[in-house]
């Protein structure tokens, strides 16, 4: 098996995006986008975790190392966390982590977003917007 790493022109570029969702809010928001048939680009692959607080920056580095073009972490809005403050720790952690990503010029390929269980439409919009951003940036060049 080989990793797909072909050079594609920006126009026909279909990015590969990894999307972390927390079990209680943003995954439910993605479900509602589904139930409501809100269409969004087929660029993301959702990886469910129990809480956005679970997402280790190492996962994001791993994804970029593998050649994934963008990573988006989603969780409950601040104050809504099922585990009280997991999302706040995620927020603080990724604020610092963004500085690391800047060094590698990867910060624009990473995003942290809050999506509630009732925001199906917003989930679709967030994904569309992030996809467009990654499309503009083009494929991730090998580090």
Partner 1 sequence: MAKVGAVLVIGGGIAGIQASIDLADSGYKVYLAESTTSIGGVMSQLDKTFPTNDCAICILAPKLVQTGRHENIEILINSSIEKIEGAPGHFKVDLTQRTLRLDQEKCTGCGLCAQQCPIEAIDLFNEKLSNIAAISVKFPQAVPLVFSINKDKCIGCGICKGICKAKAIDYDLQDKLITLDVGAVVLAIGFDEYDPTPLTELGYGKHLNVITSIEFERILSASGPHSGLILRPSDGTIPKKIAFLHCVGSRDRKHRKDYCSSVCCMYTTKEAVIAKEHMNIIEPTIFTMDIRAYGKDFDKYIDRAKDEYGVRYIRRRISSIKEIPDSKDLIVCYETKNGKIIKEIFNLVVLSVGMEPNQKANELAQKLDIQLNEYGFCKTCTFSPVETSRSGIYVCGSFATPKDIPETVIEASAAAGCVNILLSEARNKLVTKKELPEELDVSDQPPRIGVFICHCGINIGGVVDVPNVVEYVKTLPNVVYAEHNLYTCSADTQTNIKEKIKKNNLNRVIVASCTPRTHEPLFQATIREVGLNKYLFEMVNIRDQCSWVHMHEPEKATAKSKDLLRMSVAKASQLIPLQEQEISVINKGLVIGGGVSGMTAALNLASQGYEIFLVEKEDSLGGIAKNIYRTLENDDVQEYLKILIKNIESNQLIHVFKNAQINGISGYIGNFSTNISYGNNGKIIDLEHGIIIVATGAKEYQPKEYHFGKDQRIITQTQFEKDLFTSDKIKGLKSIVMIQCVGSRNDDFPYCSRVCCSEAIKNALKAKEINPNIEIIILYRDIRTYGFKEKYYNFARDKKVIFIRYEEVEPPELKIKNKELKIIVTNPDLGKLEINPDLIVLSTGLVAPIKENEELAKMLKVPLNEDKFFLEAHVKLRPIDFATDGIYLCGCAHSPKDIRESIAQSNGAAAQAVKILSSEKLVTSGLVAVVIEENCIGCGSCVEVCQFNAIELIEKERAFEDFTMPIMKSYVNPALCKGCGTCGAQCPNSTIVIKHFGFEQIHAMISALLIQS
- Rounded CA gap, 8 and 16, in Å? 12
Interaction between residue 31 and partner 1 (CB under 8 A) = yes
Kindly state the tokens that stand for 42.
Answer: 């087929």
What does the DSSP 8-state code read for residue 69? S
Assess contact for 120 and 42: CB atoms under 8 A: no
- Window of 18-26, 103-111, 130-138 that interacts with partner 1 by CB under 8 A: 18-26
- Window of 15-23, 100-108, 129-137 that interacts with partner 1 by CB under 8 A: 15-23
Interaction between residue 56 and partner 1 (CB under 8 A) = yes
Interaction between residue 37 and partner 1 (CB under 8 A) = yes
Q: From the CB of 23, what's the least distance to partner 1, in Å?
A: 7
Interactions with partner 1, residue window 108-137 (CB under 8 A): 116-122, 124
Minimal CA–CA distance to 104: which of 73, 45, 60, 56?
60
Interaction between residue 85 and partner 1 (CB under 8 A) = yes
Q: From the CB of 79, what's the least distance to partner 1, in Å?
A: 6
**Residue from 8, 10, 62, 104 in contact with partner 1 (CB under 8 A):** 62
The four Cα atoms 73, 120, 51, 94 give a dihedral, to 10 degrees, of 30
- Rounded CA gap, 36 and 104, in Å? 38
- Sequence length of the chain is 143
Kindly state the tokens that stand for 79.
Answer: 């104050």
Using CB under 8 A, list all residues that contact partner 1: 1-4, 16, 18, 23-25, 27-28, 30-40, 42, 45-51, 53-59, 62-63, 66-68, 76-77, 79-80, 82-86, 89-90, 93, 116-122, 124
């Amino acid at each position: 098996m080989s990793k797909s790493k072909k050079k594609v022109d920006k126009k026909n570029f279909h990015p590969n995006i990894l999307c972390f969702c927390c079990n209680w809010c943003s995954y439910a928001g993605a479900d509602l986008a589904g139930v409501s048939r809100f269409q969004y680009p087929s660029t993301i692959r959702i990886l469910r975790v129990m809480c956005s607080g679970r997402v280790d920056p190492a996962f994001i580095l791993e994804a970029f190392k593998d050649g994934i073009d963008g990573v988006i972490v989603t969780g409950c809005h601040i104050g809504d966390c099922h585990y009280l403050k997991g999302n706040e720790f995620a927020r603080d952690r990724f604020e610092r982590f963004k500085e690391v990503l800047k060094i590698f010029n990867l910060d624009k390929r990473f995003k942290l977003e809050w999506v509630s269980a009732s925001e199906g439409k917003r989930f679709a919009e967030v994904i569309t917007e992030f996809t467009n951003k990654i499309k503009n940036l083009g494929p991730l060049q090998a580090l």
